[in-house]
């Protein structure tokens, strides 16, 4: 199961609450409270400290080449898909209730 649709199985996220926001990790779209969606952080361990990035507030995912900034609003369970273009360039993607907005 993956109840928060972040691509990380619930059994890996467990029932703990790493960021103390009273939302169990398996239901929290940002389990570590660092402002980066678990969907983006995934289970990698960028700083090799033994804690997966989605549970480790002191890691940052790499920014893809060619993108200057990525603004990630906290959007939970929006219930709709959005693909929006400005001048033919994609600037927002929403999937599974989580949105990425590039500006």
For the stretch 22-74, pLDDT in tens is: 999 999 999 999 888 898 888 888 888 888 889 988 875 555 556 555 555 54
Q: Is 10 helix (H, G, I), strand (E, B) or coil?
A: helix
Residue 82's pLDDT band, with cuts at 50, 70 and 90, is very low
**Least trusted range by pLDDT, from 22-26, 43-47, 77-81, 98-102:** 77-81
Has this prediction a pTM greater than 0.85? no
Residue 81's pLDDT band, with cuts at 50, 70 and 90, is very low
DSSP state of 32: T
Cα gap 65→14, rounded to integer Å: 33
């Amino acid at each position: 199961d993956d109840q928060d649709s972040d691509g990380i199985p619930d059994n890996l996220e467990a029932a703990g609450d790493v960021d103390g926001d009273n939302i169990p990790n398996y239901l929290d779209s940002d389990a570590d409270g660092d402002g980066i969606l678990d969907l983006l952080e995934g289970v990698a361990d960028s700083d090799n400290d033994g804690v997966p990035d989605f549970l480790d507030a002191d890691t940052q995912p790499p920014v893809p080449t060619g993108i200057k900034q990525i603004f990630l609003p906290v959007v939970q369970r929006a219930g709709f898909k959005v693909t929006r273009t400005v001048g033919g360039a994609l600037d927002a993607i929403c999937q599974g209730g989580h949105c990425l907005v590039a500006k």
